[in-house]
Structure 1
Amino acid sequence: MPATVTLRVVRGRLEPGEYEFDTRTTCVLGRAGDCSPRLPDDERHNTVSRHHCLLDINPPAIRIRDFGSLNGTFVNGRKIGQRAAHQTPREGAAAPVPEYDLADGDEIRLGDTVFRVHIHLPANQPTLSVILCAKCHREVSGELTGGYLCADCRADSGDIARHLVDTARAGRRELAPIRGYQLLRELGRGGMGSVYLARHEDTGRLVALKVLLPQAAASSKARARFLREVEFTRALRHPNIAALHDSGFADGVFYFTAEYCAGGSLDQFMLHRGGRLGVPEATRLACQALEGLAYAHDAGVVHRDMSPHNLLLGGAGDAPIAKVGDFGLAKAFDQAGLSGLTRTGTLAGKPGYVSRRQVINFRDVTPAVDLWALASCLYYALTASYPRDFPYGRDPWLVILQTEPMPIRMRDPNIPAALAAIVDEALREDAASDFRTAEELRGALLAELARGGQVSPTVGAPRLVVDDRQG
């Protein structure tokens, strides 16, 4: 049995009376209809805000933080996170609020309801009290919770990538997929790792070499689970998906080789185009990306981390081809428990491209979150702005939970009204969008391009179906 975190209702009346979590997830507690667990909207809970506090769970770890509520959250009888009486909810949410790591037996009180935390550890789980850095072998306990690499070794992901390539050249078996490669330059960097352009010394093949750094201890089971999920991504073969070639794990680091897209990412391409794209070009690229999404969704794979950063551009010349990169890696990484816990003001995914349903239902995401994120990428390509404004210092969780996307023509009134209606409909948060599948959204965008006489052969052709057994 895996490690689990259970919230048990010990005072108050909620159905169900117990909530068990065995994988990485988040919960928003409050009186709003989209909260889970949802507190009653009655006189015994009138001190509870609609979106009151956040639980971040990565069994066996659990962390809580208040959203700057008026009356605070009680942990073992101690009030945390209460905003000052003179502050508005917006000001309270912007104020720095400490987070609390919870332990077995701790109690959380919101209004008249009390939850008790129960943490179950498998009897055969090894202790994590002493951990050695996999690279320099220095003890890292207390420096990085559950980490495999010490802070010094994690500081330079370029050094980590060079270490892997050099060790592979020496004949190490678990690094065989990257044996013979030479790093050329860094292509990008993010919170979980970096990506480099690499060339094979014998064949001249160019690949994108990614290194991914776990934020929590990568047990053998977690590694196996993650790499097993990655195999679903490797099976995806489509012209609008950047192919994943090989993957592996060594010295506390996951590595991948993937198709190199010489056009870079959408955000880099926008810079070359003066900061934003014209309607025909942006819509054409969105339609191509939606082809890739439709194919992956039919195969049962959800991306969950769509953004201009991983919308890659292949091909050559002035008509690049959109290719969705990093398919399913973020979700698999989280579900394997390798992403650790979030910190104040951060959340899984990039806030500008995260829908409300993804915040509320972090664990059980559906293809709908990819459609919302793709629409937000199109919004960004057309306006150079996110669908929502994220004021400095304000908690991005609450921005997503409590504000609606701004209609795109309020950003730029020159965007055609029919196209704006499609984008705004795809970004609806209050109810299900009219676009239930990637194919439906793609069809609407294609029809709008046709009305404007902007359909190109690379976009208007029937959807390509590719045999899973290829490659």
Structure 2
Amino acid sequence: MAPSVTLTLVKGRLDHKEFVFDERATCVLGRSSDCSPRLPDDEHHRRISRHHCLIDINPPAARIRDFGSLNGTYVNGRRIGKRERHQTPEEAALLTYPEHDLADGDEIRLGDTVFRVGIHAPGTGEWPSGDELSVPSLDPADIAALLQEIARGENATLIPGYTILRELGRGGMGAVYLARDDATGAEVALKLMLPRVAVNPTSRARFLREAELTSMLRHPNIAALHDLGSSGGVFYFTIEYCARGSLDRLVSRRGGRLPAGEAVPLFLQVLDGLEHAHDQGVVHRDLSPSNILLHEADTGTLVAKVADFGLAKAFDQAGLSGLTRTGATAGKPVFMARRQVIDFKNAAPAVDVWAAAACLYHSLSGAVPRDFPPGKDPWRIVLQAPPVPLRERAPDVPRALAGVVDIALREKPTFGFTTAAQFRDALLAC
């Protein structure tokens, strides 16, 4: 049986008595209509905030933190994350409160509502021991050190069949290298994903099975996935090498912004790639300018290719990413839709469309849609702060184009565009 985390209602009045999470999720508790579980908006819960606390779940692990509520969140009778009484909600929003790891049997209390946490981990028969464990639990320093070894060639044998030529970039989970396929001589982009937890055969098989589904995607605007596997505890895959780099680097080279006449054609292609993937039932869930790659066609024009389809989801579902999505090492969710935080488990194609709009916004303005002041909890910003209209950032962007981007970034009461085709057609029309 797969690992899971369960919240069971032991006190209170809710429509559902049990909430089961068997894959990566973020769970926001509060009185707001979009929370799940949603607490009653009654006299017993007046002191509960609309967005009161967040639980980050990657079964069998779970972690909770308060959003700076006046009365705090209680775990086993101990109050966590409460703001001081002299602080306003706006002042509390400037703070990030500590996270608390949850264990089986813990009780969470908000007002008069109490949940009991149930942690179901795989039986010991699924987990190997000793030398069979590929990788111990890794922290960011361990990951950085291993990547440096690989870059220097000290661990070149980790990925047999490929010769690493140089580093192309890196992120929180690994790095990308230009490599040569020793069998064909072709240059490929080799991406390494280092797990933050010990790897067992079940997790390895789950990741490779899920990732294999994305290898079936074939489209001119999707970077083709050639090979994937694991070696020495490092998961790797190779994709076609796009010599013009990534969109974020192009924007940086151009001084932080692209003219509309250059940016919009690229995003029409991005949306074509997204539409194809969505038609195959694959949602990216992690689209950003860094995984929009650029290839130069024979005509000299740039071709956009979306990379990493489904791989972040596969890594999460295999339990290999640890609890890093909302933690200090997770980075800021600057290109993530609010709906994805509220209902991460059921991320729909519309969240990719929102992310594409956020990437286009960034390309046109050099900024991201929401303001993220230093020190302020970025996840609370995503929940509560609306995007800034594009022309407030970049007044020279054509009004009709800015209007379409602003519509695409709308989430209340519904998404402005729910499909890639709708957003593409609106861009073409303006």
Q: TM-score, normalised by structure 1?
A: 0.86
Cα contact 1:90–1:394 (8 A) shared by 2:
no
1:34 corresponds in structure 2 to 34
CA 1:376/1:151 → structure 2, altered by over 3 Å: closer, same or farther? closer
Alignment counterpart, residue 356 of structure 2, candidates 349, 369, 374: 374
In the alignment, which of 344, 350, 355 is matched to residue 362 of structure 1? Answer: 344
The equivalent position to 2:411 in structure 1, one of 404, 414, 429, is 429
Q: Would you say 1:439 and 2:429 are equivalent positions?
A: no
Describe the superposition over 1:264-295 as per-residue Cα deviations: whole angstroms up to 9, x where unpaired: 00010112222210011100000011111111
SS state of the match for residue 187, structure 1?
A: strand
Distance 1:167 1:360 in 2: 38
3-state SS of the aligned residue for 1:5?
strand
1:417 matched to 2:407? The reply is: no
Report how many residues are paired: 428
Paired with 1:372 and 1:338, the residues of 2 have a C-alpha distance of 26
- 2:146 is aligned with 1:165: no
Q: CA deviation at 1:120?
A: 2.3
For 2:387, give the aligned amino acid.
P
Distance in 2, Cα, partners of 1:282 & 1:152: 38
Query: Pairwise CA RMSD of aligned residues?
Result: 2.2
Structure 2 residue aligned with 1:300: 281
Pair 1:210-2:195 in alignment: no
| CA 1:191–1:124: 2 relative to 1, 3 Å | same
Query: What is the distance in 1 between the residues matched to 2:64 and 2:158?
Result: 41
Residues 376/321 of structure 1: CA separation in 2 closer, same or farther (3 Å cut)? same
- In structure 2, the CA distance between the partners of 1:381 and 1:104, relative to structure 1 (3 Å rule), is same
Equivalent AA in structure 1 for residue 16 of structure 2:
P
Deviation at 1:60, TM superposition (A): 1.8
**Match of 1:94, SS?**
coil
Partner of 2:145: 155
Say if 2:172 is the partner of 1:184: no
Which amino acid is the alignment partner of residue 335 of structure 2? Y
Which amino acid in structure 1 is aligned with residue 388 of structure 2? M
Letter in 2 for 1:190: G
Q: How big is the shift at 1:415?
A: 1.2
**Alpha-carbon offset, residue 122 of structure 1:** 3.8
Q: Secondary structure in 2 aligned to 1:44? A: coil
Distance 1:363 1:163, change over 3 A: farther
Deviation at 1:22, TM superposition (A): 1.4
1:54 aligns with 54
Give the SS at the match of 2:262: helix
Contact (CA 8 Å) 2:410, 2:416: kept in 1 or not?
no
Q: Is the 8 A contact 2:5 2:62 kept in 1?
A: yes
Distance 2:55 2:44 in 1: 22
Give yes or no for the alignment of 1:278 onto 2:269: no
The equivalent position to 2:383 in structure 1, one of 401, 407, 410, is: 401
What whole-Å deviation, never above 9, does each CA across 1:208-263 have from its counterpart, x for those lacking one?
Answer: 01110112222211111111111111111111011110000111110111110011
Gaps of 5+ in 2: none
2:222/2:273 contact within 8 Å kept: yes
Q: 2:236 aligns with which of 250, 255, 259?
A: 255
* Structure 2 match to 1:383: 365
**Does residue 228 of the first structure (1) align with residue 209 of the second (2)?**
yes
TM-score by length of 2: 0.94
Q: CA deviation at 1:345?
A: 5.3
* CA distances 1:6-30 after superposition (whole Å, capped 9, x unpaired): 1111111111111111112110111
The alpha-carbon deviation at position 129 of structure 1 amounts to: 8.9
1:4–1:131 CA distance, 2 compared to 1 (3 A): farther
**Conserved in 1, the CA contact under 8 Å of 2:134 and 2:200?**
no
In structure 2, the CA distance between the partners of 1:343 and 1:78, relative to structure 1 (3 Å rule), is farther
- Measured in 2, the distance between the counterparts of 1:347 and 1:306 equals 18
Structure 1 residue 126: deviation in Å?
5.1
Contact 2:197–2:322 (CA under 8 A) maintained in structure 1:
yes
- Give 3-state SS (helix, strand or coil) of 2:345's partner: coil
Please tell me whether the aligned partners of residues 133 and 199 of structure 2 are also in contact (alpha carbons under 8 angstroms). Answer: no
Flag structure 1 segments of 5+ consecutive residues without an equivalent: 169-174, 449-471
Aligned counterparts of 2:378 and 2:313: Cα–Cα separation in 1: 20
Higher CA-based Rg: 1
1:133 CA drift (Å): 7.3
